[in-house]
């Protein structure tokens, strides 16, 4: 029998459990995991035999019901159903013609109605005011068409369960870059878009030298004028300070790790940025619960490397099977996805793991453990993919890829990514992704349509009890504020371990992200949290460090800079209105 938290039960009932025509729930959580496990194990029938399918059905069912691993939401929602679309992440191309733009709009609708999130580069569209030869009129520019995509998304629910999510990217050398940077400043436009500037090394180097750079006409490839790089960079930082957008992705860093450069350059990502994809590629994600990868060593929790290795091997097979049984919205997506067989295995529960092993998130030890963990996961995922290649064959586009050059035979062009795990971490009752604790008591909004989830960190309660504290008295103060800074007489161990996002310097956030990124094939979705008092200059510094440390992308969120937020510190109304703020990026609710 499954053991679920109250919030997990509410999330499953609201989003995941199947319903009949009258909207009545017709399956239990146990039946959901049976449905998903059986559907994914059916892939074994195509590559093995009936006996093997039954073996892996049991393995996958145990993997899911233990909450050691969970796949992305579309797999939980749609596996074993007639819809059958199981991937979370898509990138669609937009060509600079009216036909191309509205074809992309149609394709977006087809993907989003099945539960997928879509990413776009609008960089090929001609700039605002450009003459349209066929009509003699003037082009309205990328931002105007983004508003059309946004309006369409507003009226589409992903898989009938959640509203659509988009990523909009514009190259920093596009002539309309300043309009793009400020597109969300008023707080009312592009509400269904996360936006990121596609920065180049040339641009970032010009920022450092306070020089100018070329703006390139996307149709001709010629420079039409020059901009002061620092002026543009400061505009990015100021808009991010005001609204949390835009983020930045670093195109040259992304393409230096492109496993299939012979198929083209990557210029867009999924909505949360952890999956850079070629046009028409999709990727399915899954996350290992690090809080469950522990063993008791004479009363002290330590990493259970054997369990972690076994879990990685099973999870890679699970995600490869997802590709095999998936039903795709478009033939172009099916062709590209089967050609590269990209998967994105990541983690959740990192903050909870750190607490249990006695390591503060805000420490050099945490950075070292982050790197050690992700290196291990990456190595084992590569090993599992090589074993699958021997059993099932190489990914079809292997010839011409970087793996052919290195003579490495693999089943999957990418294997790892770190996603936000917004709702699956609630189901698993663990901390989200690789984020620190956002608060010790908080209210989570915009996860369920009209409901707010109230949570107090259960590990904190255990630590308070262990130290003989008056739990009810301590929790009263924590529930008001969400943190322990002002709670009297707390042992130093508790203050050290239960550090929250806004207590951590942005450099430490970036160090953790960089430690994971060094061993991730795709990218890392991580929010760099800053207090409300942070300046645009501090945001600019964080963006510079992210580029210098070879991150593929970065999201900065200043406390309180959004009117609609996913998480609020504290659980009472007075604290909410006094401290109206969030310690995560609102884009995290999109997964």
Query: Which residues are the active-site residues?
Result: 270, 272, 274
Q: What is the CA radius of gyration of the chain?
A: 23
* DSSP 8-state class, residue 435: P
* DSSP 8-state class, residue 437: B
Distance CA 5, CA 163 (A): 25
Strand partners, 196: 169, 247
Distance CA 158, CA 241 (A): 30
CB 98 within 8 A of CB 323: no
Cα-Cα-Cα-Cα torsion 51, 54, 58, 60, nearest 10 degrees, comes to 100
Cβ-count burial of 9 within 10 angstroms (0-12 exposed, 13-18 middle, 19+ buried)?
Answer: middle
CA distance to 179, 196, 229, 243, per residue, from 182 (Å): 5, 11, 16, 10
CA-based nearest residue to 279, from 228, 235, 325, 340 = 340
The answer to whether the bond into 258 is cis (omega within 30° of 0) is: no
CA-based nearest residue to 385, from 259, 213, 513 = 259
Q: Helix %, strand %, coil % for the chain, to 5?
A: 45, 20, 40
Q: Which helix (H) or strand (E) holds 29?
A: helix 29-41
Residue 21 neighbours by CB under 8 Å, 6+ apart: none
Between helix 506-517 and helix 536-548 the angle, nearest 10°, is 20
* DSSP 8-state class, residue 263: G
CA distance to 296, 351, 369, 421, 424, per residue, from 356 (Å): 10, 9, 13, 20, 21
Strand, coil or helix: 215: strand
Strand, coil or helix: 297: strand
Residue 481 neighbours by CB under 8 Å, 6+ apart: 441, 569, 570, 575, 579
């Amino acid at each position: 029998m499954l053991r679920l938290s109250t919030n997990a039960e509410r999330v499953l009932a609201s989003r995941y459990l199947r319903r009949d025509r009258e909207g009545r729930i017709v399956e239990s959580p146990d039946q959901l995991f049976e449905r998903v496990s059986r559907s994914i194990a059916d892939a074994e029938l195509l590559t093995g035999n009936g006996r093997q399918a039954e073996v892996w059905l049991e393995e996958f069912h145990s993997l899911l019901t233990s909450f050691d691993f969970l796949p992305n939401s579309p797999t939980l929602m749609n596996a074993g159903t007639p819809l059958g679309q199981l991937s979370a992440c898509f990138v669609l191309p937009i060509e600079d013609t009216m036909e191309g733009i509205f074809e992309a709009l149609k394709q977006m609708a087809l993907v989003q109605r099945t539960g997928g999130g879509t990413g776009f580069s609008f960089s090929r569209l001609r700039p605002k005011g450009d003459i349209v030869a066929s009509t003699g009129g003037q082009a309205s520019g990328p931002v105007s068409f983004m508003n059309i995509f946004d309006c369409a998304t507003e009226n589409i629910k992903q898989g009938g369960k959640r509203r659509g999510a988009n990523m909009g990217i514009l190259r920093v050398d596009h002539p309309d870059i300043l309009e793009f940077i400020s597109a969300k400043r008023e707080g009312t436009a592009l509400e269904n878009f996360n936006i990121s500037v596609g920065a180049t090394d040339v641009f970032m180097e010009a920022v450092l030298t306070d020089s100018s750079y070329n703006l390139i006409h996307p149709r001709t490839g010629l420079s039409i004028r020059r901009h002061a790089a620092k002026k543009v960079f400061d505009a990015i930082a100021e808009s991010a300070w005001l609204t949390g957008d835009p983020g930045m992705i670093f195109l040259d860093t992304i393409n230096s790790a492109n496993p299939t450069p012979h198929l083209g350059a990557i210029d867009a990502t999924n909505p949360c940025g952890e999956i850079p994809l070629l046009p028409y590629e999709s990727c399915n994600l899954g996350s290992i619960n690090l809080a469950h990868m522990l063993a008791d060593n004479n009363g002290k929790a330590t990493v259970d490397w054997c369990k972690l290795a076994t879990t990685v091997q099973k999870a890679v097979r699970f995600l490869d099977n997802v590709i095999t049984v998936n039903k795709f919205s478009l033939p172009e997506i099916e062709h590209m996805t089967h050609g590269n067989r990209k998967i994105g295995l990541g983690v959740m529960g990192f903050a909870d793991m750190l607490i249990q092993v006695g390591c503060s998130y805000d420490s050099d030890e945490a950075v070292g453990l982050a790197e050690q963990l992700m290196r291990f996961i990456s190595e084992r995922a590569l090993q599992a993919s090589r074993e699958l290649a021997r059993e099932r064959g190489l990914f079809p586009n292997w010839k011409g890829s970087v793996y052919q050059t290195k003579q490495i035979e693999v089943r999957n062009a990418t294997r790892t990514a770190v996603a936000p795990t917004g709702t699956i971490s609630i189901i698993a009752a663990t901390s989200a992704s690789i984020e620190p604790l956002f608060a010790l008591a908080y209210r989570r909004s915009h996860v369920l349509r009209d409901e707010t989830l109230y949570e107090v960190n259960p590990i904190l309660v255990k630590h308070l009890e262990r130290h003989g504290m008056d739990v009810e008295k301590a929790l009263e103060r924590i529930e008001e504020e969400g943190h322990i800074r002002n709670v009297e007489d707390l042992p130093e161990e508790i203050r050290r371990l239960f550090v929250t996002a806004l207590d951590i310097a942005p450099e430490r956030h970036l160090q953790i992200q960089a430690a994971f990124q060094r061993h991730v094939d795709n990218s890392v979705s991580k929010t760099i949290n800053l207090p409300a008092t942070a300046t645009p200059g501090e945001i600019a510094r964080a963006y510079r460090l992210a580029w210098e440390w070879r991150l593929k992308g970065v999201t900065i969120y200043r406390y309180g800079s959004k009117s609609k937020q996913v998480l609020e510190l504290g659980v009472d109304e007075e604290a909410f209105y006094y401290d109206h703020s969030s310690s995560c990026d609102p884009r995290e609710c999109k997964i």
